[in-house]
Amino acid sequence: MQTLEVSLLDRSYPIHIGANQLASPATYEKFIAGKTVAIVTNETVAPLYLPKVRAAIGSLGKAIVEIILPDGEEHKTAASLDKIYTSMLAAKCDRKTTIVALGGGVIGDVAGYAAATYQRGIPFIQVPTTLLSQVDSSVGGKTAINHPLGKNMIGAFYQPQAVISDIDTLKTLPPREYASGLAEVVKHALIFDSDHFAELESSADALNARDTEVLTRVIAHSCKIKADVVKQDERETKDIRALLNLGHTFGHAIETEMGYGAWFHGEAVAAGCCMAAQFSEAMSGGAVIDVERVEKLFSALNLPVSPPKVAAKNLLAHMQRDKKNENGTVTLILLKRIGEAYVDRNVAEPKLLGFLERTVT
């Protein structure tokens, strides 16, 4: 097992990455102080892993409340959040109750936001069961639900007690969901680490085969990249954490336009990263971003490199509501080169609309 630390003074916590963790009581023991644990999961994950987690935590003498939500991005809503609140209130959960978020990014985000707001904040543990959540959404304390007008528009920064990433859970992921997680791995390399990008290029076949050794190393490296960023900019008040949104302004617009769940988040991020690379090159005045290399890696990992054919004006409207925007101007994360990104807060919308019209229609 590899262990990393997200260093945030009194809010610091470990990330444990390895196999055979879910069924071990020792995995959870030091992170649960109260007598009650609310395990939040979904209908897909529950049959696979809830019995193991329930048995492990139950052996510690904890009372357990099980909250099973519908599966899918379309259920990352206020209704799901209210179901958590209602179940916990009915079970008389108090401020020492610990929430265990057992599932992918949707469960982590919704359960984390419930933890941030239930009785003004209670402890929670992230137990991500998808690759995307293990390398990205479980690390850093962003919690949220979606709104019909925009993704992740209602939420809070709230750090977990720990992140427990059991790589055995990746064996059960459907191919599209597994590939979706690889998109965030590539994104981290595109932003911060050209050498890691090259390693991903040479490891594409092993990643597609879900090689345990390669996966453990790659997940740990991605988590280290994100943990270092979170340490420097926990609440995204500086530009460094904003860089992690490479591909997301385009990607969130795709997800919103297509309807939550039609495109997996990682699929939209992959297409968004390719769009960001293309737009970067178009705006660079001659610099070469090596768009072909970016597209080739995403394609090798079974991810889309082009957006769906939709109305450009609709995508622009979604991008105009992005959380990173300031003073009514679209903000984009763009590339200087592979391994180096920057924030552009002065995107000329006529140029952006022209790019979208050439790209998506």
Domains of the chain: 2-172 (3.40.50.1970), 175-360 (1.20.1090.10)
120 is catalytic: yes
Under a CB-based contact definition with an 8 Å cutoff, are residues 174 and 44 in contact?
A: no
Q: pTM of the predicted model, to two decimals?
A: 0.92
Catalytic residue among 42, 146, 152, 245: 245
73 is catalytic: no
Alpha-helix residue ranges (DSSP H) falling in 284-322: 291-300, 312-319
- Rama region for 220: left / alpha / beta (φ>0; ψ in -120 to 50; rest): alpha
Which pLDDT score is estimated for 326? 86
The whole-angstrom separation of Cα 232 and Cα 138 is: 17
Q: Which tokens sit at 354?
A: 């022209």
184 is catalytic: yes
Which pLDDT score is estimated for 323? 85
Catalytic residue among 54, 62, 76, 142: 142
142 is catalytic: yes
Which pLDDT score is estimated for 284? 84
Closest CA to 133 of 77, 84, 183, 206: 183
Under a CB-based contact definition with an 8 Å cutoff, are residues 156 and 187 in contact?
A: no
Catalytic residue among 184, 257, 267, 295: 184
- Give every residue of the chain whose pLDDT is below 70, as ranges: 286
Which pLDDT score is estimated for 328? 85
Catalytic residue among 188, 221, 265, 318: 265
Which pLDDT score is estimated for 1? 86
314 is catalytic: no
187 is catalytic: no
Helix (H, G, I), strand (E, B) or coil at 119: helix
Query: Which residues are paired to 16 by β-bridges?
Result: 3, 164
Catalytic residue among 83, 221, 226, 318: 226
Which pLDDT score is estimated for 286? 65
337 is catalytic: no
Which pLDDT score is estimated for 348? 92
11 is catalytic: no
